[in-house]
Amino acid sequence: MSTKKIEFNPETLALCHKIMKRYPEGKHKSALIPILHIAQAEFDGWLSPETMDYVASILKIQPIEVFEVASFYSMFNLKPIGKCMLEVCRTAPCWLNGADELVAYLEKKLGIKVGETTKDGMFTIKTVECLGSCGTAPMLQCGAKYYENLTNEKTDEMIENLRKENKQQTYTAY
Amino acid sequence: MGRKLLIEHVHVPGIETLEVYRSKGGYASVEKALKTMSPEAVVEEVKKSGLRGRGGAGFPTGMKWSFLAKPPGVARYLVCNADESEPGTFKDRYLMEKIPHALIEGMITSSYALGAHTSYIYIRGEYFYVARILEQAIEEAYAAGWLGKNILGSGYDLDLYVHIGAGAYICGEETALLESLEGKRGNPRIKPPFPAIAGLYGCPTVVNNVETIAAIVPIVNEGGDEYAKIGIGKSTGTKLISASGHLNKPGVYEIEMNISVEEFIYSDEYCGGISGGKKLKACVPGGSSVPILPADLLLTTANGDKRMMTYESLSDGGFATGSMMGSGGFIAYNETACIVRSTWNFSRFYHHESCGQCSPCREGTGWMEKILHRLENGHGKMEDIDLLWDIQRKIEGNTICPLGDAAAWPVAAAIRHFREEFEYHVKYPEKVKDPNHFHKQSFISSKQSVTI
């Protein structure tokens, strides 16, 4: 894990202030979730207490206001994760079309169980609820990207490509 | 071939760009509304159209708009609910990803009708890449003068922003969505007051689903009366259906609300029949929250009428023998599917997504998940089935928001229509230990199977 200082560069900070201006005067707390996404992407894919405190300082709100939000939403990771978090949809439409088999295949291929991270820190497997990709099941999300209609072959290819990219996959596309 | 009002041009190359969208008649509704109509006249057309909210509840949109309070000097807001998270539903994602300008055009015309000068599109966090597509389209619209100050010289100003969520089904509930948009946990608010009186930042607010907003475009262009000519009875216009599960051709279909369920499933124009050469066993026709129906009741109402893809027909018979249109998330199950497993899967979903405010939902969804898990894995007792029934009864109607009802209904319907299958799990625990227990030998009672 990197030990970089928890502070945005000037461009990212300017982006945060631009996002805060989307909301009426005095209502800039609305920007909390968008800024948490930026912070998570910037600082290794998870929100450490230091990161959350830093976000609180930008928005000029109490740290507890950040934590209560960060702990509510499933996309915010409060613990470190692998570079590539494979979020497999497990809800019924995907289950009907092989979600359980996809999870089993990933577990076998990567040698880890759901909720675990590979020793090299590359992959974490997580099961998630409906991602709105029911017509293209089974599927998973990694970073902002959807991998749909997955077969074992397509899964292998995806894993290989993610290994080659070898970078933190994040949701943020700002 | 039915008329398509929302996704007619979906396959036109470059339709995601303003230029191509314009060449197909895009933004005509903004020109018409801002140049020739008063805001009240736009609301009137929406009332005449009979349009009903496409997010799931089916409440008349024109009526919802007319409830909006208009105290002088107070800002009003239009918020688009793009938090599409109902299992089985992916139509909004399709529409926004393929034709982003259709939503933006609808947002401008609708914001004008409601007198909103700042509007937000609240999109679920997982759809980050779709949010990017929308933001690019919004940039184009600003550059071309469709957004910003004095649009088309009309004196009307509008700013439109995309707001990203972070993974919470509950934020599809409109007051939870507003809490989330204010930067808080997505806990639904106690109503009244309704958002029309006190919504975003305490100001009068309308929250509408993506498809509802997009439908405003053809309604303004062609007139509410023309729109109302499509469909049957109070199910006017077209509806996007997200089809998934055991179907040959899953995907998003725009239907005129005048076709039968049978045609939708079996015709090649739509889903092309049940996949794998199997028989249809059951279907959840409107997203995970609506009651599951066995094949016979899905295709034919208890009165023996052909069941149609309309709000009224899908709910014909009430919960005893009917279901709901809901969000149009149409999930089909073939004979290899286990209804107990499906119900457990849904209960796990609701338990995971309960915000935790109300005890009946917070605790009850977890109890249901546990009991269904033991039934499905061959550890259940006969009394468990009645216990489940009892728990769902005590959740329904006893929570601040409809998530409690949504968690209760699928369990109730599964027991109501598939009790035999629950009992089978208790009687033959060894047989159900294999998670794919109905793959080799299907469980489908004679009254439930339909051969076409």
Predicted confidence band at B436 (pLDDT cuts at 50, 70, 90)?
A: confident
Cα(B201)–Cα(B267) distance, integer angstroms:
48
Q: Which B residues in the span 317-346 are in contact with A, Cβ-Cβ below 8 Å?
A: 329, 331, 333, 337, 341-342, 345-346
Phi (first) and psi of residue B9, to 5 degrees: -100, 20
Query: Cα B286 vs. chain centroid, distance in angstroms?
Result: 7
Does A14 have pLDDT greater than 70?
A: yes
pLDDT value, residue B85: 96
Mean per-residue pLDDT over chain A, rounded: 95
Percent of chain A with pLDDT over 70: 97
Beta bridge partners of A126: A87
pLDDT value, residue B440: 79
Beta-carbon separation of B166 and A144 below 8 A? no
Q: What is the mean pLDDT of residues B7-33?
A: 97
Cα(A50)–Cα(A43) distance, integer angstroms:
10
Q: What is the mean pLDDT of residues B266-273?
A: 97
Does A4 have pLDDT greater than 80?
A: no
pLDDT in tens, A121-148: 999 999 999 999 999 999 999 999 999 9
pLDDT in tens, B58-82: 999 999 999 999 999 999 999 999 9
Beta-carbon separation of B183 and A75 below 8 A? no
3-class state of residue B218 by DSSP: helix
Interface test with A, best of B333, B345, B434 (most A CBs within 10 A): B345
Interface test with B, best of A88, A171, A172, A174 (most B CBs within 10 A): A171
Q: Which residues of A touch B182 (CB under 8 A)?
A: 27, 29-30
pLDDT value, residue B305: 96
pLDDT value, residue B446: 53
DSSP per-residue letters across B71-95 = -TT---EEEEEE---STT--HHHHH
Task: Identify which of A30, A129, A134 has the shortest CB distance to residue B183.
Answer: A30
Burial level of B437, CB count in 10 A (0-12/13-18/19+)?
buried
pLDDT value, residue B445: 67
Does the model's ipTM exceed the 0.90 cut? yes
Whole-number Cα distances in Å, B335 to B27, B271, B393, B444:
47, 17, 28, 6
pLDDT value, residue B451: 47
Q: Which two tokens stand for residue A119?
A: 């020793």
pLDDT value, residue B264: 98
- Indicate the DSSP class of residue B3: -
Beta-carbon separation of A132 and B125 below 8 A? no
Q: How far is B238 from chain A (nearest CA, A)?
A: 20
Cα(A29)–Cα(A174) distance, integer angstroms:
19
3-class state of residue A28 by DSSP: helix
Q: Which B residues in the span 410-449 are in contact with A, Cβ-Cβ below 8 Å?
A: 435
- B12 close to B247: Cβ distance less than 8 angstroms: no
Amino acid type, B215 = A
| Closest chain B residue to A71, measured at CA | B185
B56: left (phi over 0), alpha (psi -120 to 50) or beta: left
| Closest chain B residue to A172, measured at CA | B128
Interface test with B, best of A19, A25, A30 (most B CBs within 10 A): A30
Mean per-residue pLDDT over chain B, rounded: 96
Amino acid type, A14 = A
pLDDT value, residue B444: 72
Question: What pTM did the predictor assign?
Answer: 0.96
Q: How far is A13 from chain B (nearest CA, A)?
A: 18
Task: Identify which of B85, B161, B164 has the shortest CB distance to residue A33.
Answer: B164
Predicted confidence band at A174 (pLDDT cuts at 50, 70, 90)?
A: low
Consecutive H or E run containing B281: strand B280-284
DSSP per-residue letters across B169-213 = GGGGSHHHHHHHHTTS--PPPPSSSPTTTS-GGGS-EEEEEHHHH
∠ CA(A126), CA(B341), CA(B395), 5° rounding? Answer: 90
Q: How far is A1 from chain B (nearest CA, A)?
A: 24
Does A173 have pLDDT greater than 90?
A: no
- The fold for domain B339-448 equals de novo design (two linked rop proteins) (1.20.1440)
Q: What is the mean pLDDT of residues B203-216?
A: 98
Predicted confidence band at B156 (pLDDT cuts at 50, 70, 90)?
A: very high
Predicted confidence band at B47 (pLDDT cuts at 50, 70, 90)?
A: very high
Asked if the bond preceding A138 is cis, omega within 30° of 0, the reply is yes
Domain ranges of chain B: 18-229, 232-334, 339-448
pLDDT in tens, B29-46: 999 999 999 999 999 999
pLDDT value, residue A5: 86
User: Class of B232-334 per CATH?
Assistant: alpha beta
Of A148, A132, A138, the C-alpha closest to B86 is: A132
- B50 close to B197: Cβ distance less than 8 angstroms: no
Q: Which two tokens stand for residue B424?
A: 């089978």
Provide the CB-side half-sphere exposure for B140 (13 A, CA).
Answer: 19
Does A23 have pLDDT greater than 90?
A: yes
Task: Identify which of A65, A96, A131 has the shortest CB distance to residue B246.
Answer: A96
Task: Identify which of A29, A73, A134 has the shortest CB distance to residue B168.
Answer: A73
Q: What is the mean pLDDT of residues B181-200?
A: 98
pLDDT value, residue B452: 47
- B401 close to B188: Cβ distance less than 8 angstroms: yes
User: Sign of torsion, CA B261 B64 B37 B155?
Assistant: negative
Beta-strand ranges (E) seen in B4-148 are 77-82, 118-123
DSSP per-residue letters across A94-131 = HHHTTHHHHHHHHHHHHT--TT-B-TTS-EEEEEES--
Cα(A31)–Cα(A40) distance, integer angstroms:
14
Q: Which B residues in the span 121-140 are in contact with A, Cβ-Cβ below 8 Å?
A: 124-129, 131-132
Bridge-based pairing state of the strands B280-284 and B293-294? antiparallel
Phi (first) and psi of residue A141, to 5 degrees: -115, 135
DSSP per-residue letters across B334-389 = ETT--HHHHHHHHHHHHHHH--SSSHHHHHHHHHHHHHHHHHHTT---HHHHHHHH
| Closest chain B residue to A90, measured at CA | B345
pLDDT value, residue A3: 60
Predicted confidence band at A65 (pLDDT cuts at 50, 70, 90)?
A: very high
Predicted confidence band at B100 (pLDDT cuts at 50, 70, 90)?
A: very high
| Whether B244 contacts chain A with CB within 8 A | yes
Q: What is the mean pLDDT of residues A75-92?
A: 97
- Indicate the DSSP class of residue B303: T
pLDDT in tens, B346-398: 999 999 999 999 999 999 999 999 999 999 999 999 999 999 999 999 999 99
| Whether B353 contacts chain A with CB within 8 A | yes
Phi (first) and psi of residue A127, to 5 degrees: -100, 140
Number of neighbours of residue A67 by Cβ within 10 angstroms = 17
| Closest chain A residue to B356, measured at CA | A72
Amino acid type, B211 = E
Whole-number Cα distances in Å, B204 to A10, A25, B103, B261:
37, 17, 22, 39
Q: How far is B163 from chain A (nearest CA, A)?
A: 7
Q: What is the mean pLDDT of residues B417-434?
A: 94
Count of A–B CB contacts within 8 Å? 153
Does B224 have pLDDT greater than 90?
A: yes
Could you tell me which CATH number the domain at B18-229 has?
Answer: 3.40.50.11540
3-class state of residue B20 by DSSP: helix
Cα(B311)–Cα(B241) distance, integer angstroms:
13
Q: How far is B225 from chain A (nearest CA, A)?
A: 33
Q: Which residues of B touch A34 (CB under 8 A)?
A: 163-164
